[in-house]
Amino acid sequence: MITQPLTVLDHHYEELSDDGKDVIQGLSQTPKTLSPKYFYDDHGSLLFEKICDLPEYYPTRTEAWILNKYADEIAEITNCCELIELGSGSSTKTQALLDAYQKIANSCRYLPIDVSGGILKTSVLQLQEKYPDFSIHGLLGTYEQALVHLESNYLQSRMLFFLGSSLGNFNQEECDIFLNQISRTLKTGDFFLLGVDLQKPKDILEAAYNDSQEVTAAFNLNMLSHLNWRFQGNFDINLFKHQAIYNQVDNQIEMYLHCQKDHWVSLEALDLKVFFEVGESILTEISRKFDLGTMEKQLQSKGLNTVKTWTDEQGWFGLILCQL
């Protein structure tokens, strides 16, 4: 069924909603931080797609392997329902699920949600062609906007899914707020499918975030170029160096940009001047690595009870299907 590909949830989504107040706050504190949402301008989104194909970055292909192997079983458990994907990107991995649902039902509804309009529109148009009996419609906006939009009354049963271990980029408090929103968006009997990257040896994790082709380094540094065009800044990316370390106490990768020289940076649109000292660092991202049992308990505390969990042969990545 070919329909309008997208609904824009907030026409001002491109302004990232808070006009850089978070940049002022993050760069005014010690240690300095920046929100990972600034990775994803058009160039950053392309670099992320490249990261997903890197030999060292195992999460994407490992999760795809699990989905390909178990999609039929997932569809059998949930039956035909409205499929809603948060942060769908190019929806590449999702096709294993769509194929499985196609086998059990003539028509299903699939709603991919993303902040990147270009990639969302392209993938919706391609999927509408590939799955003509499905009703496929993109929602352009942030997770928060989408979850509020989806809260209203609805009849069909649902499966919300959040893949790629994007949950790992939230700190514990953000994770709590997000999971509360998820359970508010579902009604009793609905499903939530969550992909999580699991704890594993430090050397494997650090290699995945310090790849030999330096694509992750370019992705991290691109955040500064993004801030330059968005807020009329003068960051010199040659004065910063990328590094990712695995913090074994908090079980998280931490991505930093280390300053190589004393200098001032200004962001004119924010009326901000910041001094950077040689040796100091900006924390740009955390990527938490989970333990399945602990994650299942956290989901349960939100009323989301595990129905079944799947992992790969090495136990590197987990896919949890839970039900409200």
**Euclidean distance between CA atoms 48 and 215, whole angstroms:** 8
Looking at beta carbons only, is 112 or 164 nearer to ligand AVI? 164
**Euclidean distance between CA atoms 300 and 266, whole angstroms:** 46
Contacts of 48 (CB under 8 A, 6+ apart): 39, 40, 89, 219
Residue 164: CB minimum distance to ligand AVI, A:
5
CB 26 within 8 A of CB 37: no
Number of residue whose CB is nearest ligand AVI: 287
Looking at beta carbons only, is 9 or 253 nearer to ligand AVI? 253
Residues near ligand AVI (CB under 6 A): 51, 59, 164-166, 168-169, 209, 216, 285, 287
Residue 31: CB minimum distance to ligand AVI, A:
19
Residue 107: CB minimum distance to ligand AVI, A:
31
Identify the burial level of 209 via C-beta atoms within 10 angstroms of its C-beta, where 0-12 means exposed, 13-18 middle and 19 or more buried.
buried
Q: Is 219 helix (H, G, I), strand (E, B) or coil?
A: helix
Residue 243: CB minimum distance to ligand AVI, A:
12
Looking at beta carbons only, is 71 or 167 nearer to ligand AVI? 167
Looking at beta carbons only, is 101 or 162 nearer to ligand AVI? 162
Of 164, 88, 165, whose CA–CA distance to 121 is shortest?
88
CB 110 within 8 A of CB 135: yes
* Length of the chain in terms of residues written: 324
Looking at beta carbons only, is 45 or 95 nearer to ligand AVI? 45
Residue 170: CB minimum distance to ligand AVI, A:
10
Contacts of 106 (CB under 8 A, 6+ apart): 133
Looking at beta carbons only, is 101 or 219 nearer to ligand AVI? 219
Residue 104: CB minimum distance to ligand AVI, A:
29
